[in-house]
Structure 1
Amino acid sequence: MLQTTKDILADLIAFPTVSSDSNLDMIAYLATRLEDCGTDVHLFTDPSGKKANLFATLGPKKDGGIVLSGHSDVVPVIDQSWTSDPFKMVERDGRLYGRGSCDMKGFISSTIAMAPTFAENMRDRPLHFAFTYDEEVGCIGAAHIAQSLKQIGIRPSVAIIGEPTNMRIIEGHKGCFEYTTLFQGLEGHGSAPDLGVNAVEYATRYVTYLLDLKEKLRSMSHPDSAFDPPWTTVNVGALHGGSAHNVIAPKARVDWEMRPVQRSDADFVKSHLHAYCHEVLLPKMRAVYPDASIETEVVGEVEGLVPTLENEAQKIVSELTGTDDASLVPFGTEAGIFQNIGMDVVVCGPGSIEQAHKADEFVTVSQLESCIAMLSKLSKRLGW
């Protein structure tokens, strides 16, 4: 089973499913392997037709099934110093290197390797596979698959999200709210700055104010918060704008995110930014150029995973892994989306988040073995 998992992982890594590109070839590969063991496969394409979710079912078509879920997309490798081809798996010193190896093609390959065994052991409770697109850019595919499940009338009750947790059980995490803020100013010659509206300057003021809010959020954290860090975080990912030293920049863009501990923190940030833009920045910009603007686009607002007292997913995975410990993490996943449509959810998968998104990303062989062991026990449970 381990060798089969490695072989499948090598195949999956070879699909360069960066979020900006299509995932259709990888989804077709997964669909074929699942159909070969008798799985009922549904594909749901995005509006562009260049990406798709896969939702597949083994066993009876009824409510109450268990979902094994992972995202097919990976982050870019541009400007990263890899010591090997990021889209060719390399095994070295007990590690399997390649983009997506831990985030999260290692989990997906394990579930596909186990699919024939699942099929042999199926009884009364269905098992589902959910593989999504565009998790890395706002969990867009998961939101789509949630709508699709409602449309086709499938209502699973449990979901295991295989993000890299070193096979620890995660019962809760922060939300992930991502935005792009666009600034429209007025170009001109750099020697006469007062005759133009420098979008880069106003974007810089916006970022400075956002970083002030970031510090205020630290003081708003609850003393009993189990998150690390315990407060809502803010990150400015990019600031783009301008073309030359002597040109007043007419356009600028800020890409930023926050990871709210609670929805009220997100509301605090958004309301203060709105007031700052409309009461401070825009009046100054429009005094020179009436058509100046600041517009914020929502890339994604993904709710966090909320810990619950009764969680069948946690109970099942605790039995499979032999541990009752459950933790919280600061990074976001698709788990909250599945929770919001009525499922009990935990996050548990092979690999470490410390390796995700970095050059020379890897998953250890021992982590894959632990994942296979968990899924093997799940297979036996399905046969009860």
Structure 2
Amino acid sequence: MSRRGQRLTHLELLERLVSFDTESSKPNLALMDVVCDYLEGWDVPFVRVPNAAGDKAAVFATIGPMVDGGIVLSGHTDVVPVAGQAWTTDPFALRIADGRAYGRGAVDMKGFCALALAAVPDALAADLRRPIHILLSYDEETTCLGVADTIARFGADLPRPGAVIVGEPTGMEVADAHKSIVTYHTTVHGHEAHSAKPMLGANAVMAAADLVSELNRIADAMIARGDASGRFDPPATTVHVGTIAGGTARNILPKVCTFHWEFRGLPDLDMGEIPALFAAKVAAVTRERLNRYGEFGRIETVEEVAVPGLAPEPGSEAERLALRLAGRNHTISVPYATEAGRFQEAGIPTVVCGPGSIDQAHQPDEYITLAALDSGAGFMRRLIGECGAP
């Protein structure tokens, strides 16, 4: 991507980042090779943090002194799929038109990654007294676990940061809160029998229907509880069943029924509350329906993804810094989950603030405006000024 020490604009870097198909199901190593080559060209120290399978990696780079208390600019390199979407042009070839930069990941969130990388030469020239770290991750769109192994090294063989700015698209507003998301796959195991003789088996579909009804009840209870903060839309923890499948024929007691479900919790929700309510219903359904006539059935629930929410920390270092840099005087909440909660769980003050609008993400002809990128570049210049020599 670069000759040694070559200065590249954020658009040039964005063009290169977008050119890699880094859908979450695919490796990101080729993109990271290019990023590392760019960092090496500027003699920026970095570490690659591979996943267990070795087909993906995060990169953590440091500009400035190798000390604790720095600022992390965090962005993910994975993108959502393009299959089935009607793109005007190649989604992995950046197209500039009408004041916009089009491409998969342009706004979510390779634009922010490009801005952070483009700021490297100026950050080096500023002789920083406080380090600026760039953390590029993977798997944000699926699990938000691509930062976990790097976070685990903070304060060990990597400096422990003082604040984190996650650059998801917020229109450069400063978000200090978002919901959690926890997803599950439930399998109800019944026992096949003739539908005329239900006492000879266990109906997995009807048992699953009881469980889905319980999730409806929990969802209604969460709506009634509402959002005391008044900051979220919708103003409640939400519970949702997305798929359900089971049975083989009308006159056979279904042997298996499966369904996928999730909840998106307000930051103050006890993350164990909904699973505990569901588990109590599972025990009752297993006892009273599946095994009414004998030891015929069982129910298994597997947690697939658990992304923590981001809780407000009024007056935190991350909030104060981001508000200054963005020229804002208040914070917002966002409806989507991010990696920010992972950093907050580790005790690091974190906010979400980045260029562009989430409304353009995940769609065909995804784009970020050139004005939004320029605004993000100004944010980077002010951050360098904050961290530079007095």
State TM-score, norm by structure 1: 0.90
Cα distance in 2 between the residues matched to 1:156 and 1:94: 36
Cα distance change of structure 1 residues 313 and 224 upon mapping to structure 2, 3 Å threshold: closer
Which residue of 2 is the match for residue 95 of structure 1?
Answer: 100
CA contact 1:259–1:330 (8 Å) conserved in 2: no
Moved more, 307-316 or 104-113: 307-316
Cα distance change of structure 1 residues 17 and 208 upon mapping to structure 2, 3 Å threshold: farther
SS for the counterpart of 2:359 is coil
Cα distance change of structure 1 residues 79 and 187 upon mapping to structure 2, 3 Å threshold: farther
Select the residue among 252, 257, 262 that pairs with 1:257.
Answer: 262
Which residue of 1 is the match for residue 223 of structure 2?
Answer: 218
Cα distance change of structure 1 residues 183 and 220 upon mapping to structure 2, 3 Å threshold: same
Cα distance in 1 between the residues matched to 2:358 and 2:293: 48
Cα distance in 2 between the residues matched to 1:269 and 1:259: 10
Q: Deviations over 1:301-337 (max 9, x none)?
A: 2222221232122222222222222111222111121
Residue type of the alignment partner of 2:279: H
Paired residues for 1:153-164 under 5 Å? 153-164=158-169
Larger Rg: 2
CA contact 1:199–1:250 (8 Å) conserved in 2: yes
CA contact 1:138–1:178 (8 Å) conserved in 2: no
Which residue of 2 is the match for residue 356 of structure 1?
Answer: 361
CA contact 2:173–2:353 (8 Å) conserved in 1: yes
Moved more, 152-161 or 245-254: 245-254
Instruction: Return the offset for 1:81.
Output: 3.0
Which residue of 1 is the match for residue 304 of structure 2?
Answer: 299
Moved more, 260-269 or 52-61: 260-269
Which residue of 1 is the match for residue 45 of structure 2?
Answer: 40
CA contact 2:183–2:304 (8 Å) conserved in 1: yes
Which residue of 2 is the match for residue 131 of structure 1?
Answer: 136
Instruction: Return the offset for 1:258.
Output: 1.5
Select the residue among 370, 385, 389 that pairs with 1:380.
Answer: 385
* C-alpha RMSD over aligned residues: 2.7
1:326 maps to 2:331: yes
Paired residues for 1:176-187 under 5 Å? 176-186=181-191
SS for the counterpart of 1:328 is strand
Larger helix fraction of residues: 1
CA contact 1:239–1:252 (8 Å) conserved in 2: yes
CA contact 1:10–1:89 (8 Å) conserved in 2: yes
Cα distance change of structure 1 residues 288 and 229 upon mapping to structure 2, 3 Å threshold: same
Which residue of 1 is the match for residue 3 of structure 2?
Answer: none
State TM-score, norm by structure 2: 0.89
Q: Which runs of 5 or more residues in structure 2 are unaligned?
A: 1-5
Instruction: Return the offset for 1:205.
Output: 3.9
Cα distance in 1 between the residues matched to 2:87 and 2:193: 42
SS for the counterpart of 1:140 is coil
Cα distance in 2 between the residues matched to 1:243 and 1:107: 49
Instruction: Return the offset for 1:63.
Output: 0.6
CA contact 2:238–2:263 (8 Å) conserved in 1: yes
1:18 maps to 2:23: yes
Select the residue among 103, 107, 110 that pairs with 2:112.
Answer: 107
Cα distance in 1 between the residues matched to 2:72 and 2:126: 16
CA contact 1:282–1:294 (8 Å) conserved in 2: no
What percentage of residue pairs aligned between the two structures are identical? 38
Q: Which runs of 5 or more residues in structure 1 are unaligned?
A: none
Which residue of 2 is the match for residue 342 of structure 1?
Answer: 347
Q: Deviations over 1:219-271 (max 9, x none)?
A: 11244432222211123333355677887654443232222114545433212
Which residue of 2 is the match for residue 279 of structure 1?
Answer: 284
Moved more, 175-184 or 368-377: 175-184
Instruction: Return the offset for 1:3.
Output: 7.7
Cα distance in 1 between the residues matched to 2:7 and 2:334: 28
CA contact 1:66–1:128 (8 Å) conserved in 2: yes
Residue type of the alignment partner of 1:183: V
Select the residue among 314, 318, 321 that pairs with 1:316.
Answer: 321
User: How many residue pairs were aligned?
Assistant: 384
Cα distance in 2 between the residues matched to 1:220 and 1:2: 53
Which residue of 2 is the match for residue 236 of structure 1?
Answer: 241
